């Protein structure tokens, strides 16, 4: 039976995972490996199914509460709830901070993201086996998928609720895979800045409501946030399971595809900066030194984590 210290430790580990998940190029799954809860997380997520969900929900009836508690324990519900609270807290706080950074220092922020992504891809490719033609083809497909989606997502996808739902499903499902960043996928889909801005507005709205200024500022942020979370729930229990089955069936080819997604996604921060420069009348000639310096900082952060933790691998 876990005591208060155990639950606090799980919450703090959730904070660490959430912080990583909110930064493009850094994987919450990697942090789960670092802090020793990855296998427990995967076991808990894959234990959830329609039958157990129905049993837990059936606990509203007094006669079924014992069975509901048993089902909750079978999916390690306490662990998931506390871990999820930590992840959620960190994501809200970090994305709010990132929104401020993107507004004030877009070139440096996206440069830092570029360095994170590039170094993560470099480190992870050490675990990829490309000896067969099929694996090479999978790597090419992964690269092209992310490269093309990076350009399309940044220029063509809007922020309609169906797009937000799909983005949530894809981003959250990536959370269970070490090395693959859900926030990076949001950048690829052109939704990262929108969601960070929405969460920032939500936090500001809560502060305004607490100051007696009404809840109008909160109301507009609830639909996209709720839709994103709903997509995340669906993604966690569908897409994540599909990827796990792919890993079981063809692990090497699937890893080649996943890591190549990261390489292809290097286009995303470059396009985002190009769009900002076009809007402000700036040029890459003037922005490149700052972008490159920030990229070096991002790469150094990843390399330091890999050197001292040694777990940036599948």
Helix spans in 105-132 (H): 106-124
pLDDT on residue 156:
60
Q: Would residue 250 count as lying in a domain?
A: yes
User: At residue 203, what are phi and psi to the nearest 5 degrees?
Assistant: -65, -45
Angle, helices 192-210/222-237, rounded to nearest 10 degrees: 130
Query: Contact at 8 Å (CB) between 268 and 116?
Result: no
Contacts of 209 (CB under 8 A, 6+ apart): 215, 217, 218
Phi, psi of 37 (to 5 degrees): -120, 10
Q: pLDDT value at position 240?
A: 66
The listed range with the strongest mean pLDDT (22-31, 246-255, 282-291) is 282-291
Task: Confirm whether 30 is domain-assigned.
Answer: no
Whether 6 is in a domain gets the answer no
- Prediction pTM value: 0.71
Give me the pLDDT at residue 311, please. 46
Q: How far is CA 171 from CA 20, 28, 193, 282, in A?
A: 13, 11, 14, 31
User: For position 97, what pLDDT does the model report?
Assistant: 83
CB within 8 A of 78, min separation 6: which ones?
2, 7, 72
Query: Is the per-residue pLDDT at 153 higher than 80?
Result: no
Q: Are 156 and 189 in contact (CB under 8 A)?
A: no
DSSP state of 242: H
Mean pLDDT for 254-281 is: 85
Residues 110-149: pLDDT tens digits?
899 899 888 878 877 777 888 899 999 999 998 888 888 7
Q: Please tell me which residue, 181 or 8, carries the higher pLDDT value.
A: 8
Query: In this structure, is residue 154 part of a structural domain?
Result: yes
Mean of pLDDT over the chain: 83
pLDDT the model gives residue 227: 94
Nearest CA-CA partner of 169 in 259, 247, 230, 90: 230
Residue 71 covered by a domain: no
Please check whether residue 13 lies inside any domain of the structure.
no
Q: Which residues contact 24 (CB under 8 A, 6 or more apart)?
A: 113, 116, 117, 181, 183, 184, 186, 187, 192, 268, 269
Is 195 inside a domain boundary?
Answer: yes
Give the list of residues 6+ apart from residue 314 with CB closer than 8 angstroms, or none.
124, 127, 177, 178, 179, 255
Question: Is there a domain that residue 119 lies in?
Answer: yes
Tell me which residue range forms the domain holding 258: 93-309
What is the number of domains present in the chain? 1
How many residues make up the chain in this entry?
Answer: 314
């Amino acid at each position: 039976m876990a005591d208060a210290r155990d639950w606090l430790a799980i919450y703090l580990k959730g904070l660490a995972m959430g912080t990583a998940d909110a930064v493009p190029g850094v994987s919450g799954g990697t942090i789960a490996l670092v802090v020793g809860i990855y296998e427990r997380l995967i076991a808990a997520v894959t234990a959830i199914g329609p039958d157990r969900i129905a049993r837990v929900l059936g606990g509203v009836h007094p006669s079924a509460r014992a069975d509901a508690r048993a089902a909750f324990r079978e999916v390690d519900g306490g662990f998931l709830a506390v871990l999820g609270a930590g992840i959620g807290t960190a994501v809200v706080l970090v994305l709010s901070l990132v929104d401020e950074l993107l507004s004030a220092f877009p070139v440096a922020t996206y440069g830092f993201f570029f360095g994170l992504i590039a170094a993560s891809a470099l480190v992870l490719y050490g675990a990829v086996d490309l000896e067969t033609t099929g694996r090479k083809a999978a790597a090419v497909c992964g690269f092209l998928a992310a490269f093309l989606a990076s350009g399309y997502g940044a220029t063509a996808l809007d922020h309609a609720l169906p797009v937000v739902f799909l983005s949530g499903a894809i981003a959250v499902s990536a959370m269970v895979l070490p090395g693959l960043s859900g926030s990076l996928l949001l950048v690829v889909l052109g939704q990262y800045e929108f969601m960070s801005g929405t969460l920032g507005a939500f936090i500001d709205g809560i502060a305004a409501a607490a100051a007696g200024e009404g809840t109008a500022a909160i109301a507009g942020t609830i639909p996209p946030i709720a839709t994103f979370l709903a997509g995340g729930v669906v993604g966690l229990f569908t897409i994540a399971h599909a990827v796990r089955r792919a890993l079981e069936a063809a692990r090497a080819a699937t890893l080649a595809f996943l890591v190549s997604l990261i390489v292809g996604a290097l286009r995303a921060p470059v396009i985002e900066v190009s769009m900002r420069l076009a809007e402000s009348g700036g040029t890459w000639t003037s922005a490149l030194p700052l972008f490159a310096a920030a990229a070096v900082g991002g790469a150094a952060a990843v390399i330091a984590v890999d050197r001292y933790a040694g777990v940036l691998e599948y």
